[in-house]
Amino acid sequence: MKHYTLLRFVKLNLYFFGMYGLLTAAWFGITGRFSEESTGAINEILVNAAIFSLLFTIALLLWYRRTEVRIPVKSISPKALDQKLEEIGYEHIPGKDKGAVQVYKPRPPKAPALAGRLFVQKSANFYHLQGPVSQLKSLEV
């Protein structure tokens, strides 16, 4: 839960860097650009992959930005909250509870997989839900 956005940024950035680099290298191999100047082609692939992955990762993190919503404990029961979260497309991960925090993962097609996990923590008076803004807006309690 702590530093979740930073962890998502690093994972997405590495994933897009690797995939863009591999696909571009495959394309350069098919078109024969490595035979002309291999070091220049490799540098071009790495620079383009770094720029693409950075821009695409920032775009995804802005698209699925995260927020915290507080729901009063008196207004909804834990089972009803689970049901509401299932309606918006999140399912509980039973083995991933981190202390008092329950972890929910998106289940497409209702919730996009790139939206990331949703964390629910119960305090004395509130349920603290941390997740993507677009999904938590649709949660009506």
Over residues 63-78, the pLDDT tens digits come to: 889 899 999 999 999 9
Burial class of residue 83, CB neighbours in 10 A (0-12, 13-18, 19+): exposed
Mean pLDDT estimate for the chain: 89
pTM of the model: 0.76
- The answer for 92, left when phi > 0, alpha when psi is -120 to 50, beta otherwise, is beta
Alpha-carbon distance of 109 to 1, in angstroms, equals 24
Residue 26 has pLDDT above 90, yes or no: yes
Q: Calculate mean pLDDT across residues 5-23.
A: 91
Q: Tell me which residue of 25, 84, 75, 77 sits closest to 49, measured CA to CA.
A: 25
Q: 44 pLDDT band (50/70/90 cuts)?
A: very high
In sequence order, what are the residues at sequence separation of 6 or more whose Cβ sits closer than 8 angstroms to the Cβ of residue 81? Answer: 71, 120, 127, 141
pLDDT above 70 as % of the chain: 96
pLDDT computed for residue 1 by the predictor: 63
pLDDT computed for residue 134 by the predictor: 87
In sequence order, what are the residues at sequence separation of 6 or more whose Cβ sits closer than 8 angstroms to the Cβ of residue 12? Answer: 53, 56, 57, 60, 61
Give the pair of three-digit tokens for residue 78: 């834990």
Q: Which amino acid is at 30?
A: I
Task: Note the pLDDT tens digit of each residue in 76-129.
Answer: 999 999 999 999 999 999 887 667 889 999 998 888 888 889 999 999 999 999
